[in-house]
Amino acid sequence: MTDKSDVWQGTLALMVLKTLESMGPIHGYGIARRIEQTSGDQLSVNYGTLYPALIKLEQEGYIVSEWGVSDNNRKAKYYRLSRAGRKRLEKHTREWEKAISILSRFLSPGKEPA
């Protein structure tokens, strides 16, 4: 596991929101697996980080949780995106795209910043 990076501070919330948007209601375990898969197993999600993040997002009203039953009949807590969460996701996605495009201009060699 040492070759996997931990999730960067501040990006986990965005990943969670995006995961919920694309997967619909899903439990914590599913979120963790999904993030790991999406990252091509380059990221490892620690529950000590994920669950507190979920709690915060829920308290801030971006996600909603309810108890449900999983595919193999286990009781599990399911999380889904709220309307506020959807808006936040859009906003943050835009911001991230912008940030990435600016950074890439700085970092890619050869291309002078316009």
Partner 1 sequence: MRPLRAFFLRLGNVFQKERRERELAEELESTLQMHIDENLRSGMNPEEARYAALRSFGGVEQTKEECRDARGLLFLETLLQDLRIAVRGMRKSPGFTFVVVLTLALGIGANAAIFSVINSVLLRPLPFEDPERLVTIWHHYDKLNLPRATISPRTFAIYRDQTRSFQQVAALRAWNTNMTGGGNPERLQGMLVSDGFFSVLGVHPAMGRVFLPGEDELGHNRVVVLSDSFWKIHFGSDQAIVGKSITLNGGEYEVVGVMPPRFEFPREVELWTPMAFTSEELSSFVESLTAVARLKEGVSIQQAQAEMDTLPDLVRETYPNAFKENNGWGIDVISLHDVLVGNVRPALVVLLAAVGFVLLIACANVANLLLARGTVRKKEIAIRTAVGALRSRLVRQLLTESLLLGLLSGGLGLLIAFWGVGFLIKMTPADLSQFLPNWDTVGIDRRVMIFTFAISAVTTLIFGLAPALHASKTDLNEALQEGGRNAIGGGRSRVRSFLVVSEIALALVLLVGAGLLLRSFLRLQEVNPGFRGDNVLTMLVSLSTSQYDDAQIASFYPRLFGEVTAVPGVQSAGVVSSLPLTLSTASSTFRLEGRPTAPGEVAPHATFHVASPDYVATLGIPIIKGRSFSEREFAEDGPVALIDEVAAKRYWPSDDPIGKRLAFGFENVEGQAYWREIIGVVGHVQHSGLDVESRMQVYLPGLRNPRFARGFAELMYLVVRTASKPETFVPAVRAAIDKVDPNVPIYDVRSMQQVLSDSVALRRLSMLLVGLFAAIALLLTVIGIYGVVSYAVIQRTHEMGIRSALGATPGEILRLVVGEGLRLAVFGVAIGLVASLGLIRFISSLLYGINATDVVTYVSVALLLITIAVLASYVPARRATRVDPVLALRAE
51 versus 111: smaller Cβ distance to partner 1: 51
Least distance (Å) between residue 91 CB and partner 1: 13
Residue 44, amino acid: S
Helices and strands per DSSP (H, E), number in the chain: 4, 5
Nearer to partner 1, 87 or 98 (CB): 87
Cβ proximity to partner 1: between 83 and 105 the closer is: 83
State in angstroms the smallest separation of the CB of 105 from partner 1: 32
Chain contacts with partner 1 (rule: CB under 8 A): 1, 27-29, 46-49, 51-53, 55-56, 59-61, 70, 72, 74-77
The first and second tokens of residue 58, run together, are: 């829920």
Nearer to partner 1, 72 or 101 (CB): 72
Residues whose CB is less than 8 angstroms from the CB of residue 30 and which lie 6 or more positions away in sequence, other chains included: 23
Instruction: List 81's β-bridge partners, or say none.
Output: 63
Q: Kindly state the smallest distance separating residue 11's Cβ from partner 1, in Å.
A: 17
10 Ramachandran zone, left/alpha/beta (phi>0; psi -120 to 50)? left
